[in-house]
């Protein structure tokens, strides 16, 4: 009988290395491996979260003392991890009697192409993403490929129509990580990255809303083909290993006799209760001020523009803030309890999807740096400077967009403007404005990290004014030189100049901000 056990078979891809590593070797060699390098950003995030779930359960309890001991040792307690995985080995076998992350009851269901497991492969009505495969192309996956895509699907699959399983219901809801970006602090090795994103864990106590009975999927009885509706996770590791789909991998043999996955069955799985809020449990996601809407990756909006949602908030700033990833608060706590010395600028990567309803457009990983002092809610001055700097940039960006539409509206019919609005038309000059400010955010973050608040304010003010003036000049360079065109351009120029000056004056006079 074939076996592919994820504990000791190679299947996890590593940055810059041709060879994959097994789950146990990921932990054993963690401080020598540069990082997990999935075929997609979503895969990278999903594999890190899987490893974090294993660590939580193997270590049983993570508090400041345990965290400090492991961090100073620069290695994970392998014997303890092996003791944990030993009785559960059969649950990590891709082809076992209780196959990893799968549902055996679907073995008799009608399968489809294995391309269905891989978002960038074409399957049925799905568009082809980053790939020239068509739905007529036979796709086979190695067990290692299938395993890592299986983990990714359970974490990031979009909602939509699936193959009906135990019922005729074909509809499925989005997997937890498909709803927003996953934020991971980047270390220099797998060990550091896992540790920096490993929050306190004491079932029944921490993290918030983690019950005493919290457990990952492999510690629970294997689920039937019947999808569970409106379920509330028992806690953090239950959410990390959420079974959003019922899946079956159908094996085939290659000409050389090796095992491959040629077909799959993917059906609706567990759906979260509509009243359940990810912000109550998830430790790696950020949320806007409503504490419900997750921060997402947006192709039209650079991540730094939402940096204030990643900042620890004081009571005074709370109404404008959000909920940063809870691991950030844990890092602040470990600085004191475990003697962790964070760099002045913390490198963070956001992993997520860009989609239109249930259609995947792309996936992305976006980097951002955060001043370490912004993890402390007591650092109100730094947070205030950032808050008003971003607010001013947004106000000026809205002004430029409005005036570009005004300029264009003088030479377009109402019907043409309505069609452009449907297509979400955006002026190219606005893109140049945000592009000019992107490197300036890094400078702003650096100055805030250094505590150079006055220079941070002056620098950002100059950057916004220069970027807006440049974008305005580009706008005014379009069109003809007719008398009417020149008159409209003069009005736009006057409006932008006046309101830009007013916005910058408001920034100068903002509470706690004195340029």
Q: Provide the sign of the torsion angle of the four alpha carbons 391, 397, 400, 406, taken in this order.
A: negative
Q: Is the pLDDT of residue 430 over 90?
A: no
Average pLDDT over residues 373-381: 90
* Distance of alpha carbon 353 from the chain centroid: 7
Higher pLDDT, 376 or 1: 376
| Residue 421 confidence (pLDDT) above 70 | no
In 6-72, at which residue ranges do the beta strands (DSSP E only) sit? none
Mean pLDDT of the chain: 89
pLDDT band, residue 488 (cuts 50/70/90): confident
pLDDT at 323 exceeding the cut of 50: yes
pLDDT of residue 122: 46
The residues, any chain, with a CB within 8 Å of residue 111's CB and separated by 6 or more, are 248, 250, 263, 264, 265
Q: Would you state the pLDDT for residue 404?
A: 86
Question: What is the full DSSP assignment across 268-312?
Answer: E---B-TT--GGGT-SS--B-TTSSSBP--BTTB-GGGGGGGGS-
Q: Which of 357, 360, 277 is nearest to 323 (CA)?
A: 277
Compute the half-sphere exposure of residue 18: CA atoms within 13 Å on the CB side of its CA. Answer: 0
pLDDT of 132: 47
Res 135: pLDDT: 43
Q: What is the mean predicted confidence (pLDDT) over 209-233?
A: 95
Tokens 């294995």: give the residue: 114
Strand partners, 356: 359
How many CA atoms are closer than 13 Å to the CA of 301, on its beta-carbon side? Answer: 13
**Is residue 159 predicted with pLDDT exceeding 70?**
yes
Query: Residue 125: pLDDT above 60?
Result: no
Distances (CA, A) of 46 to 41, 101, 377, 491: 9, 13, 30, 52
Q: What is the mean pLDDT of residues 167-188?
A: 91
Q: Which of 85-89, 170-174, 409-413 has the highest mean pLDDT?
A: 85-89
Confidence class for position 478, pLDDT limits 50, 70, 90: confident
Enumerate domains of the chain plus CATH numbers: 379-515 (1.10.132.100)
CA pair distance 297, 214, nearest whole angstrom:
30
Q: Is the pLDDT of residue 458 over 70?
A: yes
pLDDT band of 316, cuts 50, 70, 90: very low
What's the rounded mean pLDDT across residues 370-399?
93
Q: What is the pTM of this model?
A: 0.92
Q: With 90 as the cut, is the pLDDT of residue 495 above it?
A: yes
Exposure letters 214-240 (e unless 16+ CB within 10 A, then b): bbbbbbeebbebebeeebebbbbbbbb
Write down the pLDDT at residue 134: 47
In this structure, the dihedral spanned by the alpha carbons of residues 162, 167, 169 and 171, taken in order and rounded to 10 degrees, is -40
DSSP state of 40: S
Task: For 272-307, write each residue's pLDDT tens digit.
Answer: 999 999 999 999 999 988 888 999 999 889 999 999
**Residue 360: pLDDT band by 50, 70, 90 thresholds?**
confident
Count Cα atoms within 13 angstroms, Cβ side, for 53: 24
- Find, among 307, 321, 500, 476, the residue nearest to 397 by Cα: 500
**Chain segment 27-64, per-residue pLDDT in tens:** 999 999 999 999 999 999 999 999 999 999 999 999 99
Query: 58-92 pLDDT, tens per residue?
Result: 999 999 999 999 999 999 999 999 999 999 999 99
């Amino acid at each position: 009988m074939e076996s592919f056990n994820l504990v000791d078979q190679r299947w996890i891809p590593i940055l810059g290395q041709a060879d994959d590593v097994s789950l146990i070797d990921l932990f054993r060699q963690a401080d020598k491996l540069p990082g997990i390098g999935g075929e997609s950003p979503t895969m990278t995030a999903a594999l890190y979260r899987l490893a974090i779930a294993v660590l939580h359960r193997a270590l049983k309890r993570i508090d400041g003392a345990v965290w400090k001991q492991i961090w100073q040792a620069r290695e994970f307690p392998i014997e303890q991890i092996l003791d944990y995985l030993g009785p559960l080995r059969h649950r990590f076998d891709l082809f076992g009697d209780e196959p990893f992350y799968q549902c055996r009851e679907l073995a008799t269901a009608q399968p489809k192409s294995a391309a269905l497991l891989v978002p960038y492969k074409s399957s049925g009505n799905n568009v082809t993403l980053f790939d020239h495969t068509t739905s007529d192309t036979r796709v086979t996956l190695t067990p290692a490929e299938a395993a890592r895509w299986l983990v990714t699907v359970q974490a990031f699959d979009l909602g939509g129509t699936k193959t009906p399983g135990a019922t005729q219901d074909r509809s499925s809801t989005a997997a937890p990580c498909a709803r927003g970006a996953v934020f991971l602090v980047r270390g220099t090795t797998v060990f550091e990255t896992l540790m920096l994103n490993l929050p306190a864990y004491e079932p029944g106590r921490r993290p918030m809303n983690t019950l005493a009975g919290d457990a990952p999927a492999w510690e629970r009885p294997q689920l039937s083909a019947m999808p569970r509706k409106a379920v509330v996770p028992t806690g953090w590791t239950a959410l990390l290993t959420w079974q959003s789909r019922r899946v079956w991998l159908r094996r085939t043999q290659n000409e050389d006799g090796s095992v491959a996955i040629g077909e799959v069955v993917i059906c609706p799985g567990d759906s979260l209760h509509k009243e359940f809020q990810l912000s109550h449990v998830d430790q790696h996601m950020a949320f806007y001020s409503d504490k419900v809407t997750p921060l997402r990756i947006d192709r039209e909006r650079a991540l730094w523009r939402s940096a204030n949602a990643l900042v620890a908030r004081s009571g005074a700033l709370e109404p404008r803030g959000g909920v940063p990833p809870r691991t950030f608060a844990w890092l602040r706590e470990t600085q004191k309890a475990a003697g962790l010395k964070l760099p002045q600028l913390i490198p963070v990567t956001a992993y997520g999807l860009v989609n239109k309803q249930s259609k995947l457009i792309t996936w992305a990983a976006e980097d951002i740096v955060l001043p370490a002092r912004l993890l402390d809610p007591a650092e109100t001055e730094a947070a205030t400077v950032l808050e008003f700097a971003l607010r001013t940039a947004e106000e000026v960006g809205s002004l430029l967009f409005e005036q570009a539409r005004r300029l264009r509206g003088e030479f377009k019919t109402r019907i043409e403007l309505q069609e452009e609005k449907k297509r979400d038309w955006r002026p190219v000059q606005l893109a140049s404005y945000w592009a000019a400010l992107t490197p300036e955010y890094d400078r702003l973050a650096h100055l805030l990290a250094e505590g150079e608040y006055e220079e941070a304010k002056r620098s950002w003010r100059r950057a916004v004014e220069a970027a807006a003036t440049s974008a305005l000049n580009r706008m005014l360079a379009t069109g003809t030189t007719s008398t009417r065109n020149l008159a409209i351009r003069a009005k736009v120029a006057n409006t932008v100049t006046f309101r830009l000056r007013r916005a910058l004056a408001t920034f100068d006079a903002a509470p706690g901000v004195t340029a």
